[in-house]
Structure 1
Amino acid sequence: MPVRDIASAQPDRPAGREPRRPRLYVLDGLRLIAALAVVSFHWAGVNIHPEVWGQTPQTLMPTVHRFASYGWMGVQLFFLISGFVICMSCWGRSPRDYFTSRIVRLYPAYWVGIIITTLVVNFAATVRAARKPMSISDVLTNLTMLERPLGVTEADGVYWTLWIELRFYLLFAVVAVMGLTYRRVLAFCGIWTILAVITPSVDSKLMDTVFMPQDAPYFIAGVAMYLIYRFGVNPMLLGVVGFSWLYAQNRLHITVGSYEYEVHHNLSWPVMAAISAAAFLVMLAASMGALNWIRWKWLTVAGALTYPVYLLHQELGWAMIRWGRDHGIAPFQLLALCLAVILLLSWLVHRFAERPLSALLKRLLDGAKVSLPKSDPPVRHG
């Protein structure tokens, strides 16, 4: 894609909607890859729950485990995609449309996932013995998606990433409310990068919560890649993406410790850096139009299923694995069976719960008109 004149191509005024562009099927494909990577990590990479398989996955299937132990990096790919998509889906929309779209996107499938996971955790005989049943109060708190800041255990451990997504949406709302333009979004990327970089040295819990130094480079790079997709590639945007990747590698040294605890062995930094670089390069290629030849229609369905798959796969997957193990199903056949069940259940959730609930919630939010008085009425005395 040719370099464009920055001064003429990126106006300061909020841009209206352009004619609808062809769907980026590659994003659906990348969502699928990210989801399957995370699934593989929790089913075959995690060694801290030997009660699921009866022994550690590393002992049971060492070759699969070796690859699956890096599956957690699918989360970083999700964050890259999220940064890109948030810009793409909200450009030219009003602030109200922005908030409505984010609520409708996150909550309906999440609520269904909470219900299903709670039933599994509280009532499935094959659930991990180490997991305590959830109280009604915990379930209700989880419905807000604010369970982590409120100090309540997530219904499913994978939901920790949703709190990060929610914070990103709130942070991006700052520029979305002003109206999205090239210069404003680029300034947002630069200011967030600076604040995220200095946050660890400030030792402020509030700044750490708001600016998310561990995860910021992925969102920032995704946003910059959308600017490349919309306005064309230029040295400034490539610099933002490149710096974000360099910054992300620095943070890998910090984040990898928790995952090494889960897999019970060291992870290779060169492998992690290579996976991260591949994710950045593929997303960059997509933003520059190099992957527009990917137009497989089935990816649309696959992309729609990734969110329910992510929400449902861990606790339910572990329960199914333990059931299959108790019934003598071989490990690889059991993995295939569990994946098939999760995909089918995810399709049912998407088709019969997420879609109608999203449509209903959107109608309710679009129809809600909140009018506030311009000023407080005068107080009468005596």
Structure 2
Amino acid sequence: MTQSATAQEPAPLPEPESAAAPVPVPVQGAAPAPGAARPRLYVIDALRLCAALLVALHHYVGTWRVNQPHNLIWGRPSSDIFPNVFRVTSYGWIGVEIFFVISGFVICMSCWGRGPRDFFVSRVIRLYPAYWFGVLFTGAVLTLWPAVFKPPVSGRDMLFNLSMLQQGSHIADVDGVYWTLWSELRFYLVFLLVVAGGLTYRKVVVFCCAWGVAAALAPVAGLPALTLLADPDAAWYFIAGLALYLMHRFGQDMLLWGILGMSWLMAQSELAKRIDTVEHVSSWRGALLLYTVFLLFMVGVAVGLTDRLQWKWLATAGSLTYPFYLLHYAVGTDIIHYFRDAADPRLLVAAVIALMLALSYLVHRFVERPLSRLLKRGLTRSFARLGPAPSRRAAP
């Protein structure tokens, strides 16, 4: 990521169960009309898939190892092989930031009116089945056919990766893209505090402000625990997604525009840091332009301008996003490395993307869905032994 595609996100990236979003209420504080529902947000599936493809194209075409004279994927700088396409794909890394914003939007959507038990179960069954397969499959490929990436971890560290908590224990990821899951997990942890009390307009707004203050103070506070929970590198993207969902549910107001504006101001600084430290091949101006256009499009989604987009095939496409993201990097670059001299580079990239999408469908169909059903039954029975969950209803 599966459940509903209206609520799918990144990596990045799990989706909610509800297939339709509540009708937005123009008067702040009023509850949505009972039983009323907007059309399913298929556009969210389209955005997630586009973000995943952007990241993949960046890894395959739009980057190189700046400290080495030759690109280890192609044998020479990819900018020489794809001189025109490279200028665009060098910005593909911003797909991760797009994932984070969508995650904030859809997690808030999927949790509205639900308790912490449902939240926990939904996140486990969404995140872990495809991830477990990704760890084992990628580890096996890198062990048997090391090329661009040598086997990054020992057998015991690979097993620890199955917990998804390896970064918290300073253990290397089996695949480099897994770093985003650590940010997702921290977002779930802090947002669980709001879910436990029942989501309301007021509580989500307070959470956005409080988490934003923590994220702003963490870099100068010198408190590791605060930095760990505040996650200043990613928090503002999740906050933007939360504000956009409140616009979607309750309508626009000055406060929500203020939260969204502050998240944009803080995000532009984080984009600059990302470029300075990792993504040297792109510019701050270009990244900020792309991110701003995406946020404006999400505003259109929030206020209902895309509700008429009802292409049902996008639900299936969106379900491939999470396994595709988990599998595309290390395995895909290995394939390119081995076949780079036997095929046209453009056809090879297209073929690898098609292969990864096909593999992602198989993982979704034969790993995610059956394992998710099994986990959901087991966890539901386990929580039933704890007694009934406290009843609560969503309030404005």
The two structures have a TM-score, normalised by structure 2, of: 0.87
For residues 342 and 56 of structure 1, the distance between their equivalents in structure 2, rounded to whole angstroms, comes to: 23
Aligned partners of 2:152 and 2:172 also within 8 Å: no
Higher helix share: 1
1:36 to 37, 43, 53: 53
1:98 to 119, 128, 131: 119
**Paired letter, 1:143:** L
Post-superposition offset of 1:238: 1.4
**Paired letter, 2:41:** L
Post-superposition offset of 1:259: 2.5
Structure 2: which 5+ runs fail to align?
Answer: 1-22, 388-396
Give the root-mean-square deviation of aligned CA atoms: 1.9
**Paired letter, 1:364:** G
Equivalenced residues, count? 360
1:53 to 34, 50, 74: 74
For residues 203 and 184 of structure 1, the distance between their equivalents in structure 2, rounded to whole angstroms, comes to: 28
Post-superposition offset of 1:77: 0.4
Aligned partners of 1:142 and 1:155 also within 8 Å: yes
Post-superposition offset of 1:203: 2.5
For residues 230 and 3 of structure 1, the distance between their equivalents in structure 2, rounded to whole angstroms, comes to: 6
Instruction: Flag the 1:337–1:66 CA change in 2: closer, same or farther, 3 A.
Output: same
Identical-pair percentage: 46
For residues 358 and 221 of structure 2, the distance between their equivalents in structure 1, rounded to whole angstroms, comes to: 47
Tell me if 1:121 matches 2:142: yes
Post-superposition offset of 1:2: 8.7
Instruction: Flag the 1:55–1:226 CA change in 2: closer, same or farther, 3 A.
Output: same
Instruction: Flag the 1:193–1:17 CA change in 2: closer, same or farther, 3 A.
Output: farther
Tell me if 1:363 matches 2:365: no
Corresponding residue of 2:20: none
2:299 to 262, 274, 284: 284
Deviates more, 1:199-208 or 1:267-276: 199-208
Structure-to-structure mapping, 1:97-246, within 5 angstroms = 97-124=118-145, 127-128=147-148, 131-132=150-151, 134-246=153-265
**Paired letter, 1:274:** L
Structure 1: which 5+ runs fail to align?
Answer: 373-382
Corresponding residue of 1:312: 327
Query: Could you report, residue by residue, the CA deviation over 1:114-157 in whole angstroms, capped at 9, with x for unpaired residues?
Result: 111011111125x32x5235322111110000111111110100
For residues 381 and 142 of structure 2, the distance between their equivalents in structure 1, rounded to whole angstroms, comes to: 37
Corresponding residue of 1:268: 283
Aligned partners of 1:41 and 1:69 also within 8 Å: yes
Tell me if 1:79 matches 2:93: no
Instruction: Flag the 1:5–1:371 CA change in 2: closer, same or farther, 3 A.
Output: closer
The two structures have a TM-score, normalised by structure 1, of: 0.90
**Paired letter, 1:340:** A
For residues 17 and 57 of structure 1, the distance between their equivalents in structure 2, rounded to whole angstroms, comes to: 55
Corresponding residue of 1:6: 28
Q: Quick check: which has more Rg, 1 or 2?
A: 1
For residues 224 and 83 of structure 1, the distance between their equivalents in structure 2, rounded to whole angstroms, comes to: 8
For residues 16 and 145 of structure 1, the distance between their equivalents in structure 2, rounded to whole angstroms, comes to: 39
Instruction: Flag the 1:360–1:17 CA change in 2: closer, same or farther, 3 A.
Output: farther
Aligned partners of 2:25 and 2:249 also within 8 Å: no
For residues 183 and 35 of structure 2, the distance between their equivalents in structure 1, rounded to whole angstroms, comes to: 30
**Paired letter, 1:108:** P
